[in-house]
Structure 1
Amino acid sequence: MTGPESTSDPFSNGHGFLPSTQAPAEVAPDALWLVFSGDKVLLGPELGLPNQRPGDSEGAVYLGQQSGRQVWGARLVGEAAQPFGLHRLRGLYGRVPDWLWLLGGYAYQIAEWDRTHRFCGNCGAHTLPDAAERVRRCPACGLSVYPRLAPAVMVLLTRRQEGRLQLLLCRSPQFPAGMYSANAGFVEPGESVEHAAHREMLEETNLDIANLRYFDSQPWPFPHSLMLAYSAEYAGGEIIPQPGEIEDARWFDEADLPALPGRASIARRLIESVVGPRAGD
């Protein structure tokens, strides 16, 4: 199990971000703006953030301070104007500083939540932000809507076969060609994370697990998940991939692994915590 110093979120590891809902009276001239169009963020030619709000943006929301500088989020309603361009957040890992990638994930979740909850889901009235906490409230019926999280559990299953360490890795139909990862799925209402780990593995691979051990967690803003990663030991069963969910699942020797997820993903850290660092991305 890793300690809190290794968690990947914008509120730890000295990344310098302090979230806040209490917007200042004026936008500072050196403010940082995270402006999104869908799942893409607006960046300059050197992959830097704009320090002025683009004129063709809407839905400004105050996020807090990054190393003493105001941070705002907004949504682009037109085309990106030169010299700025739009970049998919997931593909920026390793190309921008860690603080920017992590802050971008937080900003995207908040901006998307703010965009999709401008109106009450109960009565349709316009909701209002609360200065004291991150919530939108309906003045008509009193409904309060907080940013949502979808917890997901990831399990890396291992076994010994003729003295060799093997890892169970799975392919989703959405993965890039040749890539495999640890099994993962969403926690359902009414169940614990541990129960979800057993259920997901059984449903998607037909395998039983034992000795479930917590590894670490990671906010995963695509669009609003929280990934909780575990390792476990094989406890029986023959692999039967769940149709529509798992394209392929198999045991891999630790010395002969397939293409793995990029280093932005907790899946890569989970796998490397067992087999050691792998070369490449």
Structure 2
Amino acid sequence: MSDEFIAGFNPPPDDGGPAWWLIYHEDKFLVQDEDPPRLPLARQVWELGLTLETARYLGQWQGRPAYAATLGHPAATPEGYAWHGLYGLAMGWPEGLTALGGRAKQILAWERRNRFCGVCASPMIDDPKERARRCPRCGLVAYPRVSPAVIMAVQREGKVLLGRSPRFAPGRMSVLAGFVEPGETLEQTVAREIKEEVGIAVTDIRYFASQPWPFPDSLMVGFTCQWVAGEIEVDGEEIVEAGWYGLEDLPRIPPRSTIARRLIDHVVVGAQHLGSTGWR
């Protein structure tokens, strides 16, 4: 059985088999209370004793249809199930399943925010041909929102720059990140965010990888870069603490399921193999 997710818009014909259900309520998903938690796999949601407000087809997961759904009204949690937030689930789920959960979360949030037209306030309707909502009165089209953001690992003499946001728990650090502003390239955003948050200049900005990040609707685009000038001076708002760290003195860092951790591992492990001049 393949773990591959195949995105789709139009649901397949009913073959009488079960489907995966990503049931969402108050920012949490319903999962089987196991280790690791599993999605409900059921023929119909009424088997779980639940009534849905809306259900949207997402595609195929492990060879079966997958649907995102919201509860029509509060209900008792089915026996053997529990409600968990996506961030916590991502700590134990494979990357593909986390991405599926993020897709469901973002689509349901987008629909909730686009019930009415932002221009003329008329009720929006579904587009039958694509993932979009249209205004039947003025023609406004609303697509699911994706907010691009950069996340970057800055290297200096074999060490990586880590900072602490005031939202982080004490002792937890990560690489810097920030949202793209209108008119900016991704590389310009990297340089600007680093300069604004910690006061240093960078060079050799290179694409690394990307990761959907549905908190609430970001696409994290990862970069590596090299320190070129300046010393750390935190802005005190976005970043309240920052420093250079090597493999031997890393603080608490993000889990391996995140692009932040992949960037950190890439820099500090690469530095160990290639020496203090860093990777090429």
Deviation by residue 1:21-79 (Cα, 9 ceiling, x = unmatched): 21356595401110111321111223222223253331211212223311111112314
Match of 1:207 among 172, 180, 200: 200
Give the distance between the partners of 1:122 and 1:200, measured in 2 at CA: 33
Could you tell me whether the CA contact under 8 Å between 1:93 and 1:264 is conserved in 2? yes
Deviation by residue 1:118-152 (Cα, 9 ceiling, x = unmatched): 21111111111122211111111100000111111
Give the distance between the partners of 1:236 and 1:98, measured in 2 at CA: 36
Query: What residue identity is the alignment partner of 1:181?
Result: S
Give the distance between the partners of 2:3 and 2:134, measured in 1 at CA: 31
Give the distance between the partners of 2:9 and 2:112, measured in 1 at CA: 16
| TM alignment of 1:114-153, pairs within 5 A | 114-153=111-150
Aligned residue for 1:267, secondary structure, equals helix
Could you tell me whether the CA contact under 8 Å between 1:153 and 1:187 is conserved in 2? yes
Give the distance between the partners of 1:23 and 1:232, measured in 2 at CA: 43
Give the distance between the partners of 2:107 and 2:218, measured in 1 at CA: 12
Give the distance between the partners of 1:62 and 1:213, measured in 2 at CA: 36
Could you tell me whether the CA contact under 8 Å between 1:167 and 1:254 is conserved in 2? no
Residue 100 of structure 1 is matched in structure 2 by 97
Structure 1, gaps ≥5 residues long: 1-13
1:253 aligns with 2:243: no
Could you tell me whether the CA contact under 8 Å between 2:22 and 2:101 is conserved in 1? yes
Give, in angstroms, the shift of residue 92 of structure 1: 1.3
Residue 90 of structure 1 is matched in structure 2 by 87
Per the normalisation by structure 2, the TM-score is 0.87
Give the distance between the partners of 2:207 and 2:29, measured in 1 at CA: 33
Judging changes above 3 Å, is the alpha-carbon distance between structure 1 residues 70 and 120 closer, same or farther for their aligned structure 2 residues?
same
Match of 1:266 among 240, 259, 268: 259
1:177 aligns with 2:140: no
Could you tell me whether the CA contact under 8 Å between 1:118 and 1:127 is conserved in 2? yes
Aligned residue for 1:276, secondary structure, equals helix
Match of 1:40 among 8, 13, 28: 28
Residue 278 of structure 2 is matched in structure 1 by none
Give, in angstroms, the shift of residue 19 of structure 1: 1.7
Give, in angstroms, the shift of residue 80 of structure 1: 4.6
Aligned residue for 1:255, secondary structure, equals helix
Match of 2:5 among 17, 32, 42: 17
Residue 74 of structure 2 is matched in structure 1 by 78
Aligned residue for 2:208, secondary structure, equals strand
Give, in angstroms, the shift of residue 213 of structure 1: 1.3
Could you tell me whether the CA contact under 8 Å between 1:80 and 1:86 is conserved in 2? no
Could you tell me whether the CA contact under 8 Å between 2:159 and 2:268 is conserved in 1? no
Aligned residue for 1:107, secondary structure, equals helix
Could you tell me whether the CA contact under 8 Å between 1:156 and 1:270 is conserved in 2? yes
Q: How many residues align?
A: 260
Higher helix share: 2
Give the distance between the partners of 2:169 and 2:220, measured in 1 at CA: 20
Structure 2, gaps ≥5 residues long: 271-280
Could you tell me whether the CA contact under 8 Å between 1:60 and 1:73 is conserved in 2? yes
Deviation by residue 1:191-225 (Cα, 9 ceiling, x = unmatched): 11010001000011110001111111111111110
Per the normalisation by structure 1, the TM-score is 0.86
Query: What residue identity is the alignment partner of 1:192?
Result: T
Judging changes above 3 Å, is the alpha-carbon distance between structure 1 residues 157 and 108 closer, same or farther for their aligned structure 2 residues?
same
Query: What residue identity is the alignment partner of 2:38?
Result: G
Give, in angstroms, the shift of residue 94 of structure 1: 4.4
Could you tell me whether the CA contact under 8 Å between 1:261 and 1:267 is conserved in 2? yes
Match of 1:113 among 110, 115, 128: 110
Identity %: 43
Moved over 6 A (4+): none
Give the distance between the partners of 1:198 and 1:268, measured in 2 at CA: 20
